[in-house]
Amino acid sequence: MFTQLKKIVGAITAAVTGVLIATSAVPAAASAAPQGYAPGPGCVWQLMSNSTDLNVAFPDADATYWVLPYALGPGDSIRLSGTYPSARYFSLNTYGTDFDTVDTLRDNQIRPDAGSVNPFAAPVGQVPPAQRRWHATVVPGAADHSRNEIRGLPASGQNAPIGFLIIRVYVPDDPNSPNGGVPLPSVTFSIAGQTIPAQPCATPFNPGDYNGPIAQAMKKVFDDAIEGAASGAFPGNSPEATFVNPASTSGLFPNGDNKYIGSLLRYQPGRVAVIRGKAPTYPDTRAGVSPAAPGKQLRYWSMCQNDKATPYPVVACASDDQTNVDASGHYTYVVAAPSDLTTAQAADTDLTVIPWGATGVDKVVFLRNMLPSSEFYPNSVQASQATGADPVKTMGEYYPRATYCAVETLRSAGWQACYS
């Protein structure tokens, strides 16, 4: 796989250089490695990934990811000019050609411009977009987060100057505005002493509609590299209906602010999976709560059902604000095929139904924990993975206890009978 990946990186490097030289109004030095690429002249954030577009590598259905491949030489940089979105969370993330994290610059770490405020750093009321401005810089070497810098390339182990910059936005206040009601950041590339400005594309392009060398190289990267990484996250000998720490999330564009535990599931007609645990508190930003509201245990959490087959898409998620919680503060998920249990059949209960999706494919169901508070940390997924301890012991009542259950038992006697 790594030999093939090197070839792909070479293809991307050639495509990146060729496209920008052909489309940029600013001439680049022959020795420079121009940054970015676009299907048309000069636009950026061409690739968008979510549950419907470029659905790969176990994304969260309540998040959207915008991708900018680039190349950085010594002394080069990428300047971003943006507006804090109206959303639960956003971050800038850089990755190498192995799809592992290089650096993360989170929303509450990004200092605002003079005269602006950061709504993620302290609870504030509604602030107009003109007063929510920020700038950040991608640099090829050591980054100073206090200066809104983010490292663009790994410290070592990668020869090609290729990297990926990803913007993540989770739970926008307006569900119909995945970028949180504000434009994506404009970009200025500084290349070998020359400046190349670029604006966001009017719409992200669909890789299926573009069959040039870049799209072909990118598809090959995802198909080959993600296949190798995802297949090892939960190997075939992992227990079914039992949440465990993944063997690794390397190579899956991991978000440093999230940690996951997951369980393998396999379908049988007339059988559903039932998952129950204590629901952590969170800032319900769609109900007007600030993402920086104090006293919340997690910034965000969700339960997601995913295909355990390339390209490892998400089938469906129930985010924290979409999850039914009973009087005791517990959730009860049912992962079910429509022929066994529909959302309408569970409408008058405390159950939350997550679709099974294709029944002939093995599944991995994930619990995500994002940014635990210091008080909640000992019960978080993060604490379990930091110590290597069994999450069933460290998470206590917040551990998701899963079991298979006959659908007739669930219908006639309730979820309680599934655990007897």
328, 157 Cβ separation under 8 angstroms? no
pLDDT tens per residue across span 304-329: 998 887 777 778 899 999 999 999 99
At residue 266, does pLDDT exceed 90? Answer: yes
Per-residue pLDDT reduced to its tens digit, 9-56: 443 444 343 333 333 333 333 222 233 333 334 688 877 776 566 655
Report residue 8's pLDDT band, with 50, 70 and 90 as the boundaries. very low
Q: What is the 3-state secondary structure (H, E, C) of 116-164?
A: CCCCCCCCCCCCCHHHCEEEEEEECCCCCHHHCEEECCCCCCCCCCEEE
C-alpha distances (whole Å) from 86 to each of 61, 96, 127, 128, 212 are 18, 29, 10, 10, 35
Distance of alpha carbon 80 from alpha carbon 227, whole angstroms: 32
Residue 263's contacts (CB-CB under 8 Å, 6 or more residues apart) are 238, 239, 240, 241, 242, 243, 244, 275, 364, 365, 400, 402
Give Cα separations from 275 to 63, 190, 200, 404, 415 (angstroms): 23, 50, 41, 9, 9
More confident residue, 70 or 20: 70
Cα gap 56→290, rounded to integer Å:
30
Instruction: Tell me which amino acid residue 379 is.
Output: N
Binning pLDDT at 50, 70 and 90, where does residue 347 land? confident
Q: Check residue 161 and give its pLDDT.
A: 78
What was the pLDDT predicted at 120?
96
Q: What is the pLDDT of residue 98?
A: 75
Residues of the chain with pLDDT > 70: what percent?
Answer: 77
Q: What percent of the chain has pLDDT over 90?
A: 49
- Report the greatest alpha carbon distance in the chain: 73
pLDDT of residue 26: 33
Determine the residue type at 174. D
CATH 3.30.310 for domain 235-419: no
pLDDT for residue 45 = 86
259: β partners:
369
pTM of the predicted model, to two decimals? 0.83
Give yes or no for a contact between 229 and 252, defined as CB atoms under 8 angstroms apart. yes
Residue 78: pLDDT band with limits 50, 70, 90: very high
- Which has more confidence, 297 or 28? 297
Annotated domain spans of the chain: 2-225, 235-419
Q: What is the pLDDT of residues 270-289, one digit of tens each?
A: 999 999 999 999 999 999 99
Q: Is the peptide bond before 311 cis (omega within 30 degrees of 0)?
A: yes
The span from the CA of 217 to the CA of 7, in Å, is 9
Confidence band (pLDDT; 50, 70, 90) for 415?
A: very high
Mean pLDDT rounded to a whole number for the chain: 81
Residue 159: pLDDT above 90?
no
pLDDT range class, residue 231, cuts 50, 70, 90: low
Q: Is the pLDDT of residue 420 over 50?
A: yes
Tens digit of each residue's pLDDT (9 = 90 or more) over 366-404: 999 999 999 999 999 999 988 888 999 999 999 999 999
Q: Are 201 and 184 in contact (CB under 8 A)?
A: no
How many CA atoms within 13 Å lie on the side-chain side of 349? 20
